Structure 1
Amino acid sequence: MKPSKSLFHEFKESLASLVSNQSSSLSQSRPIQLPLPTNQTSTAHTRATFMAFADAVIPSTNGALDLRLDDYLIWGLDHYISIQGQWGMNHIQLSAVTAEVLDAGATQLSLSQKVKEMPNPSIFPEGGPFSSLSVNDRFEAIYLLEQGEVDMESLPPPFQGNLGLVENILGNLHQMILLGYYSEWFSLGTTRLSPPENRRIERPFVTWDLVHYPGPAYGYRDLRGFLVKNFSE
């Protein structure tokens, strides 16, 4: 069975529309040292960063990492967003630079001496400052970004000096996690990163079963308008 219009595609449409329009007792006398920003956009670093983000939003058994929603976030950012530039709408890959933005928030959190728990780089060893933070501190880093409490001019393009875009993308990342969690993404199995026309259902619908959603149904009546006897301009 291949759904006619999935939650994944509904996310694509809504996101494109939105973009276009140690412990808490640690000493505060010195900042906790986080791993230095990588200053690179490797696939491993990007994936580790979004694994950390996904695990913070929906942790534990059948959580976001179990359902590979880090892949979902990266795919969505890289394939379904266009940015208005000087020469019109440009399609760009946003996952790597968004990972850098999250690292910038984590770095600012450290510089502000607001890190409450000892960072642990071993959890996501290929990541940077953001992925080494505790779950609560990751959300604090995101809050600093959304409040513009970082040097906006130091962010990579297209986020540089653009607080509105930072707020938009970070806000939508939370929506993407929920949409991906209840979509057919995990059930696409090995084909989830393929072009849409080549995807196939390979696994049970884990989250659909959790909420007893029976899946798409075909043949139901749909309102397509109203009958008009007399039509005039």
Structure 2
Amino acid sequence: MHPAKSYALSASPHTIATFRALVEAIVPNTPELAPFGAEQTIGASELGVQDYMIWELDHTLALFFGMELTNFPLSAPTAGMLNSGAVQLVASGHAQHAPNESLWETSPYSAIAPPDRIRVLAMLEELIVDLGALPPPYRDDGGFVKFIVDYLVRGTMFGHYSEWSAYGTTRLDTPTERRLEHFPIGWRQAGYPGVSLGYRALMGFPLTIVRKGGESTIV
């Protein structure tokens, strides 16, 4: 088995459940869009974006230890941070929905309703939590907590709306080994037509110039 794939499968059930709950809350399944086509209803968890987030947190981000830049796996402690936030939300009495007790032992964050998962992100970002109760390296480090919460939202959106899921069976390979297996679903949802040679995301804004004599030119 490819090492990246075996690594993804070896992540703890607690970590996988927590990140599945995270991406599900940020880019949910949207059955109300069914009239526009089945692909429009697909959410991030169905595209496996939780695997993308776990891989990126454990391999792409790096922390400084002393004078050296060292890869420090962050998926497990980040899952712990989210679960601690969920526990604190429920304990504060501010959860808007009762948690699913059957999921609590595996992952408190996955046990709370999607709207409450977003509330946990807001609490963490605004530092309305007991920082001392968070796992290292987030414990008592509000700046790092704020950074990682922002990354979690942006990373989930990128994983969903980029071509990553369309790499299919090669999505956890190194970039040079990945191969597109179909047109990305996120691109269809966003109305992105795909890559084109010479394509420009923004070529400027139309500007109407009224010249002497009354004629107008759009440039």
- Matched residue, 1:195: 174
Gaps of 5+ in 2: 1-9, 30-40, 201-219
Q: 1:56 aligns with which of 25, 45, 50?
A: 25
Aligned residues: 180
Q: TM-score, normalised by structure 2?
A: 0.74
| Matched-pair identity in % | 39
| Aligned partners of 1:148 and 1:163 also within 8 Å | yes
Show CA shifts across 1:154-203 (max 9, x none): 32221121111111011111111221222111101111111222211122
Q: 1:84 aligns with which of 64, 76, 87?
A: 64
| Aligned partners of 1:188 and 1:201 also within 8 Å | yes
Is 1:159 equivalent to 2:159 in the alignment?
no
| Aligned partners of 2:26 and 2:118 also within 8 Å | no
The one-letter code of the counterpart of 1:146 is E
Query: Once structures 1 and 2 are overlaid, which stretch shifts more, 146-155 or 172-181?
Result: 146-155
Deviation at 1:126, TM superposition (A): 7.4
- Matched residue, 2:90: 110
Is 1:43 equivalent to 2:12 in the alignment?
yes
- Change in Cα spacing, 1:190 to 1:151, as seen in structure 2 (3 Å) is same
- Change in Cα spacing, 1:111 to 1:209, as seen in structure 2 (3 Å) is closer
Query: Once structures 1 and 2 are overlaid, which stretch shifts more, 74-83 or 41-50?
Result: 41-50
- Matched residue, 1:148: 127
- Structure with the largest fraction of helix: 2
Q: TM-score, normalised by structure 1?
A: 0.70
